[in-house]
Amino acid sequence: MQQVYDEKVREKILFEELENGLKVYVMPKKGYTKQFAIFATRFGSNDSKFIAPGDDYVTEVPDGVAHFLEHKMFEEEEGSIFEKFSQLGASANAYTNFTTTAYLFSSTENFYENLKLLVHFVQNPYFTDENVEKEKGIIAQEIRMYQDDPNWRVYFNALEALYHVYPVKKDIAGTIESISRIDKDILYKCYYTFYHPENMVLFAVGDIDVDKTLQVIEENVRQVKKQGEIKRIYPDEPVEVHKKEVVQNMQVSIPLFNLAFKDTDVGFGGRNLLKKSLEVQIGLEMAVGRSSELYEKLYQEGLVDSTFGFDYTGEIDYGYTIIGGQSKDPLKVRDIIIKAFKEKSFLDRETFERIKRKYIGKFLRTFNSVESIAYSFINLYMKDIDLMDYLPVLHQINFKDVAERVESHLNEETSAMSIIYPVK
Amino acid sequence: MELIHKELGDGINLYLDVTDKFKTVTVNLYVQNKLGDEATWYALIPSVLKRGTSTLKTYKDMVKYLEMLYGTTMAVSVYKKGERHFQQYRLELPQEEYVEENVFEKGIKFLYELVFEPFTQDGAFLKEYVLQEKEVQKNLIESRINDKTKYAVDRCYEEMCKGEPFAIFELGKKEDLDLIDEKNLFEYYKKCIDTLPVDIYVVGNVNPEYAEEVFRKYFNLRRKEVLEIPFTDVRKEVKEVKYVTEELDVNQGKLTLGFRTNVSPGSEEYYSLLVYSTILGGGPFSKLFMNVREKASLAYYAYSRLERFKGLMVISSGIEVENYSKALDIILKEVGEMEKGNISDYEFESAKKSLYTSLNAIKDNATSKADYYLSQKIAGTNLGIEEFIKKIEKVSKEDVVEVSKKVKLDTVYFMRNKKEA
């Protein structure tokens, strides 16, 4: 296996690509009680239109398929896979986001057996008309739960405002209508397209034996030929935002807002994307972070409270910033923030150096928990970013990079507002 | 797991858990009080303290200072365990070998000033800080309703424990905020720091002698009278099941059932009760998950959970409003199955294994460790994780059936959409 050792964080990651194309990464963590493995595919809610390898036609599937498939993978002919993990004392779970579906377990014993089970079940779909129908009721309640979650709604309304056609604006689980159109054939089609080892990655972390881990994976993974490229079809998204404002009324006590900014400098992954993401985050931290003049002002005027926060999402094909929280006057908050981005008085070198220092500590903290390592690793992997590039890239960023990034990404033109007001 | 204990001052305890597992040193300082009429005042204190210390007079100055310490994180919060009310002050400092020296002492001095040397003016808190934080607290109390899932559980407990201290919300009451000003709050604060027990848990790679020396330098406080916080009374007989329905503007109904167990947190029966609740609704192997979700497709989530320190159990599930009776019937049937002893070996063993895994997992998280130690202390059990696991191992199916007889339904709370007029 190839090995990358980082002296600064004193951690190493080992890597191997198997013949069938599966990428395997292992990170030994001496002294940890928990082991954690995650088996992920590049298949998310955004991937609803594609040409499968070998096909000469486009397949279009209902929204919410990736998430539906994730639920159904836990079922096997002989019963629920949860049962087997439970018997081994492990807890298994999965998640689906815009770009990824990931299956994972954490254990404190029987690691290799659990790993075998993980590799096995993700490679063994079992869909029937009956079990697909049954799942619709469960997922409908999951969708309902999110419909009542104002933080979730304000977020997706913000994406609806930013994007005309790009699928990131759609709910990950789809709608009750769209999932009603899902059947077992659709699930199998997506499964065989996206769950090929070549399209997948496996990351394991804990106080584990590297060779044995690799051996268990090699012995249990499908021995298949590489399938070639999956052609994913995403619509052409205009540069401009779709709507300046989306408003909804819900049972909340005080308005919630998400002020969103559309990133149009997209289409690349790897170190460049990591660099861009850090530039935006540092810029945001300087502008509206907890040590900023602006946050102090907004807080003292009673316009925001401790729920105020911000985040940048930078994927290969799209990106956006969200600044949000609860406020009695969201529009005033927006105006103040937009004005500050215009004036840029928060951009000073001393703050810049301090925030960079903060990010060193933040990165170190990632290595405190096997879960956070695994989640960060997979999240970055899907953007072709190497986790261990974080510190070198951070050091590379200079003040001017951040100033230019703020100028181009964070302004009135790229912004849109989503607000949830209390019901009258 | 060796926990080193030192008394720093009167009623100020330091606990050191030395481990080189983490890249940070996590310090959790807990102040505890009886949950009662002062709750609103008590809950406001950490927010005001977070606004400024004697040397770092604004929140902005504090954050800047911590950013220079490589993004040391500071978090304050307020919560309850049974009828004990906690203030939590947490710092997570980078381990010195990864950054530079003296970070630890700077952090501990900061923590001391945060809790014991606030920014004051004319013998009181700064007026504007108190005014602003009162407003924030008012908003936080009102915005409880935003998180429907948590709100449903909180409301069920409130209805169930009406008239008991446990019904008090951890942030207190909106009306009380009107009575508070910078002077009387400061008086109250002084009373708190003069009389309430303080426990500090440090988890990380520190030299115990050095750490003790640093802490003694700041926390060596002499106090005349340190209060003893009484154990929570868990005994209460259920005379009649209460049914409460609340109509809100929602899509999904939340069905929440509150139970009394009459099991005290320090008793041997507690371990049986924990296994009981885990079999019933503590994971994908559990009766509620299998029957409410997997078999009947009625819900995405259905679980049971204990409130150890008040001897309560809650069952919660999100359902279609029209499925209320169906879901309630299934849940009560499964509770009945427990009492009848219809527990499969698979359910029993899976529940125990899942508890071992969660207990062992605590060892990998510094704040979970601190919280575990604190819970052990207030339960009066002081068990290490291995000893806790041994207690679970000893629980038999008969013990589970035996304890099930003590679990009594008290309140059924249902959140639903508004009926058409």
Across all residues in chain A, what is the average pLDDT? Answer: 96
Q: Are B238 and B137 in contact (CB under 8 A)?
A: no
Q: Are B4 and B208 in contact (CB under 8 A)?
A: yes
Q: Are B380 and B374 in contact (CB under 8 A)?
A: no
Least confident of A79-93, A96-110, A372-386, B261-275: A79-93
Interface test with A, best of B17, B18, B19, B23 (most A CBs within 10 A): B23
Q: Is A135 a catalytic residue?
A: no
Select from A34, A135, A354 the Cβ nearest to the Cβ of B364: A34
Residues of the domain holding A297 = 245-422
A359 falls within a domain: yes
Name B80's bridge partners. Answer: B85
CB atoms A141 and B71 under 8 Å = no
**pLDDT tens sequence across A347-356:** 999 999 999 9
Domain boundary among A232, A253, A283: A232
B149 touches chain A (CB under 8 A): yes
Question: Of A122, A40, A31, which Cα lies nearest the Cα of A76?
Answer: A122
A237 falls within a domain: no
A353 touches chain B (CB under 8 A): no
Question: Of A171, A151, A45, which Cα lies nearest the Cα of A98?
Answer: A45
What does the alpha-carbon distance between residue B219 and residue B111 come to, in Å, rounded to a whole number?
10
What does the alpha-carbon distance between residue B352 and residue B279 come to, in Å, rounded to a whole number?
8
Residue B295's closest chain A neighbor by CA?
A134
Position A315 confidence tier, pLDDT thresholds 50, 70, 90 = very high
Reading the block at residue A324, the tokens are: 């949000």
Count CB neighbours of A337 within 10 A. Answer: 20
A376 falls within a domain: yes
CB atoms A354 and B318 under 8 Å = no
The total number of structural domains in chain A stands at 2
A239 falls within a domain: no
DSSP assignment of B175-231 = HHHTT--HHHHHHHHHHHHHHS-EEEEEEES--HHHHHHHHHHHH----S--PPPPP
Query: Which of B 286-345 lie inside 8 A of A, CB atoms?
Result: 293-294, 297-301, 318-320
| Same domain for A175 and A268 | no
Interface test with B, best of A108, A113, A131, A154 (most B CBs within 10 A): A108
| Same domain for A138 and A76 | yes
What is the four-CA torsion angle of B53, B48, A362, A397, rounded to 10 degrees?
A: -70
The region, left, alpha or beta by phi > 0 then psi within -120 to 50, assigned to residue B172 is left
Q: What is the pLDDT of residue B1?
A: 52
Q: Which fold has domain B242-417?
A: Cytochrome Bc1 Complex; Chain A, domain 1 (3.30.830)
Q: What is the pLDDT of residue B97?
A: 81
CB atoms B252 and A141 under 8 Å = yes
B361 touches chain A (CB under 8 A): yes
Query: Which of A 111-140 lie inside 8 A of B, CB atoms?
Result: 134-140
Q: What are the residues whose beta carbons fall under 8 Å from the beta carbon of B90, sequence distance 6 or more?
A: B26, B27, B28, B29, B73, B74, B75, B76, B77, B367
Residue B72's closest chain A neighbor by CA?
A361
B363 touches chain A (CB under 8 A): yes
A250 touches chain B (CB under 8 A): yes
CA distance A83 to chain B (A): 6
Interface test with B, best of A103, A144, A301 (most B CBs within 10 A): A144
Reading the block at residue A56, the tokens are: 């000469």
Query: Which of A 39-98 lie inside 8 A of B, CB atoms?
Result: 80, 82-83, 85-92
CB atoms A326 and B301 under 8 Å = no
Compute the C-alpha angle B109/B110/B116, nearest 5°. 85
What does the alpha-carbon distance between residue B43 and residue A341 come to, in Å, rounded to a whole number?
36
Reading the block at residue B316, the tokens are: 């919660």
A330 falls within a domain: yes
Compute the C-alpha angle B340/B343/B347, nearest 5°. 155
**pLDDT tens sequence across A245-285:** 999 999 999 999 999 999 999 999 999 999 999 999 999 99
Residue A79's closest chain B neighbor by CA?
B294
CB atoms A141 and B300 under 8 Å = yes
Beta-sheet strand order (sheet of B73-81): B4-9, B12-18, B198-204, B24-34, B84-94, B73-81
CB atoms A32 and B21 under 8 Å = yes
Question: Which residues of chain B are within 8 Å of residue A250 when distances are taken between CB atoms?
Answer: 249
CATH class, range B4-219: alpha beta
Reading the block at residue A142, the tokens are: 């999951």
CA distances from B251 to A63, B10, B133 (A): 21, 53, 33
Using DSSP's 3-state secondary structure scheme, residue B36 falls into coil
Residue B130's closest chain A neighbor by CA?
A300
A358 touches chain B (CB under 8 A): yes
| Same domain for A359 and A269 | yes
CB atoms B346 and A137 under 8 Å = no
Listed in order, the ranges of chain B carrying CATH 3.30.830.10 are 4-219, 242-417
Position A236 confidence tier, pLDDT thresholds 50, 70, 90 = very high
Give me the phi and psi of A291, to 5 degrees please: -100, 10
Query: Which of B 18-37 lie inside 8 A of A, CB atoms?
Result: 19-24
A157 falls within a domain: yes
| Same domain for A220 and A105 | yes
A318 falls within a domain: yes
Q: Are A38 and A100 in contact (CB under 8 A)?
A: no
Chain A and chain B share a number of CB contacts under 8 A equal to 189
A238 falls within a domain: no
Select from B63, B135, B249 the Cβ nearest to the Cβ of A302: B135
Interface test with A, best of B48, B66, B69, B70 (most A CBs within 10 A): B70
CA distance B236 to chain A (A): 34
Question: Of B107, B124, B95, which Cα lies nearest the Cα of B29?
Answer: B107
What does the alpha-carbon distance between residue A332 and residue A259 come to, in Å, rounded to a whole number?
11
Query: Which of A 278-337 lie inside 8 A of B, CB atoms?
Result: 289-293, 295-296, 299-300, 302, 305-306, 326
What is the four-CA torsion angle of B289, B294, B300, B302, rounded to 10 degrees?
A: -20
CA distance A237 to chain B (A): 32
Determine which one of A11, A17, A60, A70 is catalytic.
Answer: A70
Token match 């079940």: residue?
Answer: A121
Q: What is the pLDDT of residue B102?
A: 86
Q: For this complex, say whether ipTM is above 0.85.
A: yes
What does the alpha-carbon distance between residue B58 and residue B6 come to, in Å, rounded to a whole number?
32
Interface test with B, best of A86, A104, A180 (most B CBs within 10 A): A86
pLDDT, one tens digit for every residue, chain B (421 residues): 579 999 999 999 999 999 999 999 999 999 999 999 999 999 999 999 999 999 999 999 999 999 999 999 999 999 999 999 999 999 999 988 888 778 999 999 999 999 999 999 999 999 999 999 999 999 999 999 999 999 999 999 999 999 999 999 999 999 999 999 999 999 999 999 999 999 999 999 999 999 999 999 999 999 989 999 999 999 999 999 999 999 999 999 999 999 999 999 999 999 999 999 999 999 999 999 999 999 999 999 999 999 999 999 999 999 999 999 999 999 999 999 999 999 999 999 999 999 999 999 999 999 999 999 999 999 999 999 999 999 999 999 999 999 999 999 999 999 999 986 5
| Same domain for A224 and A310 | no
B102 touches chain A (CB under 8 A): no
Domain boundary among A198, A232, A266: A232
Report the residue count for chain B.
Answer: 421
Question: Of B93, B121, B309, which Cα lies nearest the Cα of B214?
Answer: B93
Select from B24, B59, B149 the Cβ nearest to the Cβ of A364: B24
| Same domain for A194 and A340 | no
Looking at residue B291, the DSSP 8-state letter turns out to be I
CB atoms A89 and B69 under 8 Å = no
Domain boundary among A174, A209, A232: A232
**pLDDT tens sequence across A155-203:** 999 999 999 999 999 999 999 999 999 999 999 999 999 999 999 999 9
Q: Check pLDDT > 60 for residue A210.
A: yes
Question: Of B82, B85, B230, B266, which Cα lies nearest the Cα of B157?
Answer: B82
| Same domain for A307 and A372 | yes
Q: What is the pLDDT of residue B98?
A: 81
| Same domain for A286 and A186 | no
Query: What CATH number corresponds to the domain at position A347?
Result: 3.30.830.10
CA distance B1 to chain A (A): 13
Name A320's bridge partners. Answer: A262, A313
Token match 């052990």: residue?
Answer: B376
Question: Which residues of chain B are within 8 Å of residue A85 when distances are taken between CB atoms?
Answer: 284
Contacts 24+ apart (CB under 8 A), A113-117: A113/A88, A114/A35, A114/A37, A114/A85, A114/A88, A114/A90, A115/A37, A115/A204, A115/A213, A115/A216, A115/A217, A116/A216, A116/A220, A117/A81, A117/A84, A117/A85, A117/A88
Q: What are the residues whose beta carbons fall under 8 Å from the beta carbon of A213, sequence distance 6 or more?
A: A26, A112, A115, A204
What is the four-CA torsion angle of B244, B249, B254, B259, rounded to 10 degrees?
A: -30
CA distance A387 to chain B (A): 17
CA distance A236 to chain B (A): 34
CB atoms B364 and A302 under 8 Å = no
B349 touches chain A (CB under 8 A): yes
Q: Are A370 and A32 in contact (CB under 8 A)?
A: yes
Burial of A376 (0-12, 13-18, 19+ CB in 10 A): middle
Which stretches within A123-209 are classed as H helix?
A: 129-147, 150-162, 176-180, 184-194
- What pairing do the DSSP bridges indicate for beta strands B253-260 and B312-319? antiparallel
